[in-house]
Every structure is written in C-alpha cells, then in structure tokens.
Structure 1
Amino acid sequence: MRKSTLIVILIVATVLCSFRANSQDAMTYTLEEMVERAKEISPASLRIRTKRENRYWQYRQFKANYNPQLRLNGTIPSYSQAFNSITQPDGSIEFLEVQQNFIDLELGLQQVIAPTGGIISVNSSTNRFDNFLADTNEPQTRYSGVPVNVRLQQPIFAYNPFKWDKKIQPLVYEESKREYVQEMEEVSMLVTNLFFDYLLAQVNFDIATQNLANSEQIFSIEQKRYEMGVTFEDALLQVELQVLQARQDLAQAKMDLEGSTFAVNSFIGLNQYDQIRLISPTEIPQFEVDVNRAIELAFENRAEALGFIRRELEAEAQLAEAKGNRVNMQLNASYGYNNAAFNFGDLYQNPNTQALVNLGLSVPILDWGRNKARVSQAQANQRLVEYTVDQERINFEQEIFTKVKNFIMMRERLEVTRISDEVAQKRYDIALKRYQTGNVTITDLNIAQGEKDSNKRAYYASLKDFWVAYYELRALTLYDFETQTLLYTEEEIEG
C-alpha cells in the first residue's frame, strides 16, 4: 500500500514539475516589446525594408542618369569570307571571293544637359580593316579613325524628360521614405490587434478557468444543501448544468488561445509551439492631442501630402509632353578631326578637320486633329487630377479630424470600462460571499457573474481600441505625441 502511494506521489510531483517548467519556459512580452520585435524581424517588416531598398536603388539610378558616362562601343571582330557580287563599271556583275575582317571601337564621355534635354559627348574612335586576299604589293591592313570629336544632340521645342524627372523623382523618393515609416507604424497596428486578440483569449481562458472552479465550488455547496433538505433538486441540476457549461467554455477558451498563439507567433517570427505570456498594457500614456496640430503635422509629414504635389506635377508633365510632340526638331552637330593611314600611329599625325551640322525637322501639316486631341486630352486630365487632388485633400483632413476625435473618445471610454470592470468584480465577490451564507439566490449570483465577465471583456476591448488608435495616430501624423518627437528622421530612413 505504501509503495503504490509513493508511486502516485512521484507521478503527481513529476506532472507538477513539468507544468512549472513549461510555465517558466513561456516568454513574457509587453505590448512595446511585441511591437519592437515585429518591427525588427517579422516577415511584414522585412518586406517593407526590401521595398524601401528597392525604392532607394531606383532613386540612385535616376541620379546616375545626370552623371557623366564613359562608354565603349564597337565590333570586335567582324570577319567575313564569301563570294560577293561586285558591280563593274560597265554594269556587269562579277563574283569575287572576299576574306576580310573589320574592327571598330569608340570611346566616348557623354553628359546630359538637364535644362535643355540635350546630350553632349567627347569621343575618340578607331577602325581597322584587314583584307586577307590582298595582292603582295598591296597593304593588307588599313586604319581610319577620329582622334577627338565633340558631338551635340539637342532637341528643339521638344518635351524634356530630364527637366521634369528632376522635379518629380525626388518627390517620389521622399514619398517612399515616408511610406516606410507609415508602413512600419501600420505593422505596429497589426501586431497590436494580434496582441489584444491573444490577450483577450488569455483573459477568456482565465475567466473560464475561474468560472469552472467557482461552479464546482457552488455545486459542492448545493449538494450539501440538497442533502440537508434546504434546497430543491431543480436548483442542484441547474448548478450541475452550469458546471458542464463551464467545462465546455474552458475547452473553447483553450482552443481559442492556441489559435491566437499560432497567429501571434507566426507574425513575429516565433515557432508556433513557443509558449508566450502577455502583460496587459494598463498604464495609459497621458498627453493631449490638438486636432489642428495633428492636421498640420499630417500635411507636413505624410507621404500622401507629397503625393498630392507629385500627381499635379505629373499631370503638368504629361501636358508638356503632349505639346512637345507637335513639332519634332533636333539639332545634331559635331566637330573634330579624322584621318586614315596604313599604320595605327599615323592616325594622329596631321589629322583633317571633321565638322557636321544638321537640323532634322518633322512637322505634321495635316493630321486631322490628332495633335489637338492629344493636347486637349492632356489638359482635361490635368484638370481632373487637380479636382481629384482637391477632394482628396479635404477627405485627408477629415480623416485626421475624425481619427483624433476617435482617439480622445477611446481614452474617455477606457476609463469608464475600467471602473465598470472593478465595480462588476467587486459586486460578484460580494454576491458569492452572500450566496455562501445563503442570502443570495443562485440566479442572482449567475447574473453577477455574467456582468463580471462581460465588463471585463468590455474593458479589454476598450484597451485594445485605445492602443490601436494610439498607433494609428502615430501613423497618420508620423509624430509621437507622447514624447513630442517626429517619427520621420533622415538618419533613420537612410540607415
């Protein structure tokens, strides 16, 4: 008998030790810690960082278009061996065997002229021709080349993409940097929702656990009263049903908690089997939010505010492009030296002057209204963009106004639900004690328990709404009203 008792004690001790070990292994997180972890290693934050890097290199590519470029062009080699048809002076055709090679190389330094849209370049080129079937008394190799040459390609009255890109692309890049901060704050909002979904599941689990313990205690009391003949069987059966319902509620709460654990762990990059425990963020930051100041900050910092300006510029650029396409005129000019020789070194001895100027022109005389339609469409599109942006500015301001007012209301409601939770808990504790002494019916106790549970859930729902609105306010203004600091800094973006 003693041996079996000892075995049972050892088994119970092992289970308790295992439970304690699992409890100790559970990682504890505050909301702030969860948000920081999500911003650091969550798949969502990694995607946002990759998107930022992509935008950065796009901007670097745009900047590189305005820097000088050293280019090497050529063909090495171009070998040919065939019978070619050669037209003779009398008009007849002779088929002659050809075996030759041609090499040409050009090294040029070119620079974009952004204000005019032209391209200027300094070039040097060399050509070599080898005739492998040349007679013995003829040179097999010949050279020609341009020791130095300056070329200009300048569109006239045309659309200048370099000029407009210099206005638009910096705004696009600035938007992307601010979008990065906004999207990171949106990650904070997402993880806050998951945090409180888990926290509410954790609270429901604690409520279900406590309710089951209370129901079993009440059932034990009712059994004793029934045995003493001071209560009826229907009251005992009612309590027994409550115990069964409490067990079902606990099983459901455990399932919901496991689902919330998986969702949180997946989002912040933890293993789905990792045990976590969340700490309720009941300490509410105290700061004032002025609606007008919030609207001002939103227009100063948000990517959308820059987007309004960029879209208007893009519409203006499209109109300029439509007008520029009416006349196609380009000036090509070059000046330099060229030469031909049998030896490569002789190319640079007494070269000849080389000059070229031409003005290409293409003007539609009769296009049946194509140009007019294209320009009119661009003008109509510009007006549409202006009207749309004006309306979106109004909607943007209205959104900030509504969200700030909502945040202020959330804080006030949170205080009311907090007090209601405390009052409902206190009422239930008193009702439970009075029931134990026989001064309250089981129905009144159940009502008190229901109010306790609903008010506690309402408090945590209000807590969730407040913190989601808190991070939403940060995302809307890119400003931390608690510390009175901007979230958008050049060092943070470029880092």
Structure 2
Amino acid sequence: MNFRSVYCLLFVCFALFCRQSIAQPATRQLSLQEVITLAQEQSTEAKRVETSRENSYWKWRSFRSGYLPQLSLQGTLPDFSRTITPVTQPDGNIEFRPVSYNNSDLGLTLSQVISPTGGRVFVTSLMQRFDDFDRSQTRYNSNPAIIGLEQPLFAYNSLSWTKRIEPLLFEESKKQFVEDREQIAVRATELYFDLLLAQVNQSIASKNLANNDTLYKVAQEKYQLGRLSKNDLLQLRLAVLNADLAQAQAALDEQTAALALNNYIGIKDQYRINLLVPEAIPMVDILPELALTEAKKNRKESISFRRRLLEAESQVAKAHGDNGLNASLFASFGLTDRGETFSDIYRQPDNQQRARIGFSMPILDWGRQRSITKVAELNAQLVEYTVSQEETNFEQAVITQVNQYNMLRNRIKTTAEADAIAAERYQIAKNTYLIGRISITDLNIASAEKDQARRAYIASLSEFWEAFYSLRQLTLYDFEKQLAIVAETPLTK
C-alpha cells in the first residue's frame, strides 16, 4: 500500500508539472544587445541586406571583368540550304535552278578594350568551309591570323567614365551594407522598448490590481466597523474594476508587442520573452566636431556626392561627344588564303589589309545640338546645387543628433531619481492611508505619479538608446571603442 501511494503521488505530481509546462510556456530572458544581435544575424531584413550586398559585389565583378581580355569562340555549324534560286543568265534572263549547299564557319577571337581611348584591339582566326552538294565540290577559306583596331574619334568615351564611376558605386554599396545593419539595430531597439514598456505596463497593472484589491478588502472591514464612508468604499471598488480593465489591456498590448518583436528578429520558438531594463548607459560625451568628422569619413554620402557630380559631368561630356563631329577608325592586318582542301589554306597565305575611317557631322540641326548640350550643363549645375544643399542638411542632422544624444543621456539620471522617489512616496502614502491619516484621493494621486514616473523612466531609456544607435548609423562610428564600424565578415567569393 505504501508503494502504491508513493507511485500515485509521483504520477499526480508529474501530471501537474506537465500541465503547468503546457499552460505556461518557458521564459527566455534577453538584453537589448542580444536582441540587436539576433536581428542582425537571422531576421528577414538582415537576409535582404546580405543579398543586396552580394548583388552589388557581383555587379562589381561583372564590371571589372569587362576590362580584362576576352576570349570567345563563334561559329555556324552547319548552315544547310536546299532551295530553288533565281540565277541571272549572260543574256539577262532569269532561270530558276535548284541549289543544295552547306556553309560552315568557325572563329576564335581574343579582344581587349582600351579604356583611356575607348577603343578595342583584337586578334582573331577564322576558317570557312563551303560544300556544294549538286556539283560535289568543297571549298575552304581562312584567315589564320588577323590583328585589328577599332577606335572612335572625338566621341564620348563611356569606358573611361564608367571606370571612374563604378568603383564609387561599389564603395557606396559597402557603406550601405554597414548602414543597413545599423538601421536594423535602430529598428530592433524601437521594438525592444515597445515590448519593454508593454511589460512594464503589465507589471504596473498587476501590482495596481493587487494593491487596490488589498485596499478594498481592508476598506470593507473598516466600512463594516463604521470607520469608512460609503463614498470611499465605492471609490476603492471602482479603482479595482479600473485596475482589472487596465491589466487586461496591458496583457493584450504585451502580446502584440511581443509578436512584432519576434517576427522582426526571426524568433519562431514558442516561449515568452522577458526583457531586461538596460540601465547601464554609455558614459561617453560625444563632441559634434568628432561625430561630423567621422560621418564624412565613414558614411556613403561623401562618396555619393562625388559619384553624382561625376555622373553629371559624364552626361555633359556625352552631350558634347554625341552632337559634334563623330568619326571612327578601323584597321586590320592579317593573313588569308583559300583552297580545295583544308591543308591548302595554311600553306602560303596572302597578306590582307583593311583600313576604314568613317565620320558624321551635323550641318543643319536647327539648334538641336546646342539645346541638348545646354540641358546637360544645366542638369549638372542642378546636381551641384542639390549636392551642396544635401551636404549642409547632412551636417545639420549629425550635429542635431549629437545634441539630442547628450541631452537624453543627462535626462536619464533625473527620470531615474524621480522613479525611485515616486515609488517610495507611494509606499509611504499607502501605509499612511491604511492608518487613516490621508484620504483616498491623496493615495490615488501618489499611485498615478508612481506609474507616470516609471513610464517616464522607461521612455527616457527608449529615447536614449534609439538616439545612441541612430547616431552610430549616422556616423558609422563606435564611440565607446573609438573605432569605425565596418563589415565584420568581408565578402570574398
């Protein structure tokens, strides 16, 4: 009997434990830095940023490969035709005769662009075979080696301009990747404090409900003894009902905020998150001059400004080059031969030369060339003015953010002290009310001030940390470590 009793007791305890585990999911405690790390590593936004980074990298690789030697193989194997073709006779008549032939060709070309001039040099080798099936004839033609040059004259050199602009675009993309990661930190901080404030409100609501319920029970005893008025008793009962409604709303707000944070940082596990209050703030005074210097050095804006001015200059150069005298030079020198067999075409090849200069120049365009050039010049001037204004706005944004950070850091000490004083004052007011020395109105005022001070402290922490990470994003500089923020994992593939 003793064994059965112990067994039954253990079974009941195990069942209750399992029921409690199912009813109440496990709690995971997270700090602000842990949430930011999770968001930067596994969130959907982090994956999008990483994909964008890889995209920019491969665009850069594609650009660089275009300036390296290119080896290509081209050909037609086969080009068979069987048809009836009109043939002009010596007397001028037309006769339709059946023809059946195959024409195949194969070529290997090595080319290299010349970015300073916009031209291209190439070396190619060609071979052609012609089969006439009606007459059972086979002919070969070849160019064993041809060296050539294609060079635009007086034209817009896109190769040269692209070689100056593309490296800036790639540097921008690397800066953009770091900025996007810091923006993830800013957004994660916002969601962190949304949930933290919701949890604080839930805690306040639970404590208020418990306190009001205790006070109401005490008040009922005083009322029965005739030591409390009906009005005060009803006021306490109303406070209990309001506290119950506030707790239900706080629980809903906490669930909503938790869902938003979990979805953003990519947490799929079913457990409750308990956030820590990040009270240890960086004790770093930030000078506006330092922040502005680092922002200009680290952010993509300085590169972007230069790149946009270069693009505007490029469009002006294109307008001048495309609307004036355009000429092109083509020259080639090589070997050529023909024969009835494959070996015949490589025995004693003849020289082959070719040279061509073509040009075009507008004579009468009714002011079209001048209009296009003027539009490009005005657009370049507009870009210059826009960039100048954006530089001013950027500097102002950095200085404003620094001032806000320093102000919020100093404000935290005040709100923290107010929170402690309000909590202590409420406890004194509660004890004083229980012995009947203050009214319920004074107690409610102390309770409201306690809750307001607690929320104000959490709000000041939220504003400070958001300003801290916003300043990091705006400068790409870690003021605690006094180092520039760079990508932790360089992309090398």
TM range (shorter): over 0.9
Do the aligned partners of 1:266 and 1:272 also contact (CA within 8 Å) in 2? no
Residue 182 (str. 1) matches residue 179 (str. 2): yes
Q: Secondary structure at the match of 2:67?
A: coil
> How far apart are the structure 2 equivalents of 1:20 and 1:260?
23
> How far apart are the structure 2 equivalents of 1:489 and 1:64?
25
Tell me the alpha carbon deviations over residues 307-358 of structure 1, each in whole angstroms, 9 at most, x when there is no partner: 0000000000000111111222100010000000111122111100000000
Tell me the alpha carbon deviations over residues 132-184 of structure 1, each in whole angstroms, 9 at most, x when there is no partner: 000xxxx6111001000011110001111110111100000000000000010
> How far apart are the structure 1 equivalents of 2:469 and 2:491?
19
Would the alpha carbon gap of residues 117 and 381 (structure 1) be closer, same or farther in structure 2, given more than 3 Å must change?
same
Would the alpha carbon gap of residues 254 and 489 (structure 1) be closer, same or farther in structure 2, given more than 3 Å must change?
closer
Would the alpha carbon gap of residues 396 and 259 (structure 1) be closer, same or farther in structure 2, given more than 3 Å must change?
same
Do the aligned partners of 2:178 and 2:487 also contact (CA within 8 Å) in 1? no
- Counterpart of 1:467 in structure 2 is 465
**What letter corresponds to residue 140 of structure 2 in structure 1?**
Y
Q: Secondary structure at the match of 1:337?
A: strand
- Counterpart of 2:166 in structure 1 is 169
Aligned with residue 321 of structure 2, among 321, 324, 330? 324
> How far apart are the structure 2 equivalents of 1:215 and 1:11?
36
1:236-385 map, 5 Å: 236-271=233-268, 273-325=270-322, 326-385=324-383
- Counterpart of 2:79 in structure 1 is 78
**What letter corresponds to residue 317 of structure 2 in structure 1?**
A
Residue 220 (str. 1) matches residue 217 (str. 2): yes
> How far apart are the structure 2 equivalents of 1:12 and 1:217?
32
Question: How high is the TM-score relative to the length of structure 2?
Answer: 0.95
Do the aligned partners of 2:25 and 2:272 also contact (CA within 8 Å) in 1? no
CA positional deviation for 1:492: 3.8
> How far apart are the structure 2 equivalents of 1:408 and 1:257?
30
Do the aligned partners of 1:262 and 1:272 also contact (CA within 8 Å) in 2? no
Greater mean alpha carbon deviation, residues 363-372 or residues 267-276:
267-276
1:2-13 map, 5 Å: none
> How far apart are the structure 2 equivalents of 1:459 and 1:12?
43
CA positional deviation for 1:416: 1.0
CA positional deviation for 1:440: 1.7
Would the alpha carbon gap of residues 157 and 245 (structure 1) be closer, same or farther in structure 2, given more than 3 Å must change?
same
CA positional deviation for 1:271: 2.3
- Counterpart of 1:92 in structure 2 is 93
> How far apart are the structure 1 equivalents of 2:212 and 2:17?
24
1:114-133 map, 5 Å: 114-133=115-134
Do the aligned partners of 1:117 and 1:154 also contact (CA within 8 Å) in 2? yes
Do the aligned partners of 1:197 and 1:260 also contact (CA within 8 Å) in 2? yes
- Counterpart of 1:3 in structure 2 is none
> How far apart are the structure 2 equivalents of 1:118 and 1:221?
96
> How far apart are the structure 2 equivalents of 1:15 and 1:432?
38
Tell me the alpha carbon deviations over residues 349-390 of structure 1, each in whole angstroms, 9 at most, x when there is no partner: 110000000001111111111111111111111111111111
- Counterpart of 2:422 in structure 1 is 424
> How far apart are the structure 2 equivalents of 1:183 and 1:455?
35
Would the alpha carbon gap of residues 197 and 12 (structure 1) be closer, same or farther in structure 2, given more than 3 Å must change?
farther
Q: Secondary structure at the match of 2:362?
A: coil
- Counterpart of 2:47 in structure 1 is 46
Do the aligned partners of 1:261 and 1:272 also contact (CA within 8 Å) in 2? no
> How far apart are the structure 1 equivalents of 2:27 and 2:211?
27
**What letter corresponds to residue 167 of structure 1 in structure 2?**
R
Q: Secondary structure at the match of 1:91?
A: coil
CA positional deviation for 1:15: 6.2
> How far apart are the structure 1 equivalents of 2:234 and 2:269?
41
Q: Secondary structure at the match of 1:77?
A: coil
Q: Secondary structure at the match of 1:366?
A: coil
1:441-456 map, 5 Å: 441-456=439-454
Do the aligned partners of 2:122 and 2:148 also contact (CA within 8 Å) in 1? yes
Do the aligned partners of 1:177 and 1:493 also contact (CA within 8 Å) in 2? no
Would the alpha carbon gap of residues 432 and 492 (structure 1) be closer, same or farther in structure 2, given more than 3 Å must change?
farther
Question: How high is the TM-score relative to the length of structure 1?
Answer: 0.95
Q: Give structure 1 regions of 4+ aligned residues with deviation exceeding 4 angstroms.
A: 10-24
1:118-157 map, 5 Å: 118-134=119-135, 140-157=137-154
Do the aligned partners of 1:99 and 1:133 also contact (CA within 8 Å) in 2? yes
- Counterpart of 1:60 in structure 2 is 61
Do the aligned partners of 2:54 and 2:491 also contact (CA within 8 Å) in 1? no
**What letter corresponds to residue 431 of structure 2 in structure 1?**
K
- Counterpart of 2:5 in structure 1 is none
Q: Secondary structure at the match of 2:449?
A: helix
CA positional deviation for 1:481: 0.1
- Counterpart of 1:110 in structure 2 is 111
Q: Secondary structure at the match of 1:330?
A: strand
| Count of paired positions | 483
CA positional deviation for 1:274: 3.0
Identical positions, percent: 43
Task: Give me the CA root mean square deviation.
Answer: 1.8
Aligned with residue 396 of structure 1, among 389, 394, 397? 394
Q: Secondary structure at the match of 1:73?
A: strand
- Counterpart of 1:234 in structure 2 is 231
**What letter corresponds to residue 32 of structure 1 in structure 2?**
Q
Would the alpha carbon gap of residues 490 and 184 (structure 1) be closer, same or farther in structure 2, given more than 3 Å must change?
closer
CA positional deviation for 1:24: 7.5
> How far apart are the structure 2 equivalents of 1:355 and 1:485?
62
> How far apart are the structure 2 equivalents of 1:413 and 1:348?
89
Do the aligned partners of 1:265 and 1:274 also contact (CA within 8 Å) in 2? no
Residue 197 (str. 1) matches residue 198 (str. 2): no
Greater mean alpha carbon deviation, residues 284-293 or residues 269-278:
269-278
CA positional deviation for 1:436: 1.5
> How far apart are the structure 2 equivalents of 1:404 and 1:412?
13
Unaligned runs of 5+ in 2: 1-7
**What letter corresponds to residue 111 of structure 2 in structure 1?**
Q
Residue 159 (str. 1) matches residue 156 (str. 2): yes
**What letter corresponds to residue 291 of structure 1 in structure 2?**
P
